[in-house]
């Protein structure tokens, strides 16, 4: 089932794909200007799948360059804060991710997978969109009516799945193997590019399996509480759930 990992983006090896717990690492600057910095190794999540990019710093020569985002082109381009010093090409830097933000985003992202797994299992409806900020998120479902007691039942099922402390496992699979999993087909509105031969899979064991490039916590208990704040009617067959991630 396992195939060659796809953890490189351009000239950058992406450390966070194999290990979402990395917060500090050493790297060398391959390209640098006020518009962006390219490293040989980076743990900055560049954004995607609804999860926003990381913030952090590069430490070098007694100064720091704040990183406020990432742009994906042929290379992975780290966006420096305006006016911060830019490390010249060849500089050895220490990269560091802003831990509070990333850890909150990991809990939130895993929480959304748990939520979509629960809503699919209980009501058979599909996710049509979503977005997240640290500890707050929305997810849209293709749900024609809001059934009696929907909000309460979803909240209760989420709490049960958090308490069950299910493992959250990340693996790489060939496209053919991935598409043989019924759950992947259900979420394939994510439109996996046809040239993608290896698919990264995030599996909440026994609950939800999705093709996904994000960073996740290791088990459902690490998410904390999932509070269903609001169910909104956004038009025909289109419901929006707003959730908040709490310390449980």
Chain residues binding Zn ion by CB under 5 A are 49, 212, 214
Indicate the helix (H) or strand (E) that contains 101: helix 99-123
Report the nearest approach of Zn ion to the CB of residue 60 (Å).
33
Tell me the residue number closest to Zn ion, measured at CB. Answer: 212
Lateral strand order in the sheet of 41-42: 8-9, 12-14, 41-42
CB of 96 or CB of 198, closer to Zn ion: 198
Q: Check residue 160 and report its DSSP letter.
A: H
Report the nearest approach of Zn ion to the CB of residue 130 (Å).
8
CB of 95 or CB of 214, closer to Zn ion: 214
- Residue 67: how many CB atoms within 10 A of its CB? 26
Report the nearest approach of Zn ion to the CB of residue 77 (Å).
23
Contact between 217 and 110 under an 8 Å Cβ cutoff? The reply is: yes
CB of 14 or CB of 87, closer to Zn ion: 14
- Residues listed for the chain: 248
CB of 65 or CB of 116, closer to Zn ion: 116
Instruction: Please choose, from the candidates 23, 33, 24, the residue with its C-alpha nearest in 3D space to the C-alpha of residue 87.
Output: 33
Report the nearest approach of Zn ion to the CB of residue 50 (Å).
6
- Triad 161, 138, 218: Cα angle to 5°: 40
């Amino acid at each position: 089932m396992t195939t060659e990992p796809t953890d490189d983006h351009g000239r950058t090896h992406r450390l966070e794909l194999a290990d979402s717990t990395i917060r500090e690492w050493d790297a060398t600057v391959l390209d640098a200007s006020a518009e962006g910095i390219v490293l040989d190794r980076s743990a900055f999540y560049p954004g995607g799948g609804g999860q926003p990019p990381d913030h952090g710093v590069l430490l070098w020569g007694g100064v720091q360059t704040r990183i406020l985002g990432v742009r994906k082109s042929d290379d992975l381009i780290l966006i420096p804060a305006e006016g911060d010093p830019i490390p010249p090409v060849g500089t050895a830097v220490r990269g560091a991710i802003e831990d509070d933000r990333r850890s909150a985003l990991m809990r939130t992202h895993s929480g959304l997978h748990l939520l979509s797994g629960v809503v699919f299992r209980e009501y058979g409806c599909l996710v049509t969109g979503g977005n997240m900020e640290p500890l707050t998120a929305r997810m849209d479902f293709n749900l024609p009516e809001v059934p009696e007691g929907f909000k309460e039942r979803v909240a209760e099922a989420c709490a049960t799945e958090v308490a069950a402390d299910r493992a959250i496992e990340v693996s790489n699979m060939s496209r053919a193997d991935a598409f043989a999993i019924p759950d992947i087909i259900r979420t394939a509105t994510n439109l996996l590019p046809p040239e993608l031969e290896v698919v990264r899979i995030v599996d909440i064991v026994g609950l939800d399996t999705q093709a996904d490039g994000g960073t996740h916590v290791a088990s459902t208990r690490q998410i904390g509480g999932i509070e269903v704040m609001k169910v909104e009617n956004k038009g025909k067959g289109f419901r929006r759930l707003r959730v908040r991630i709490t310390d449980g």
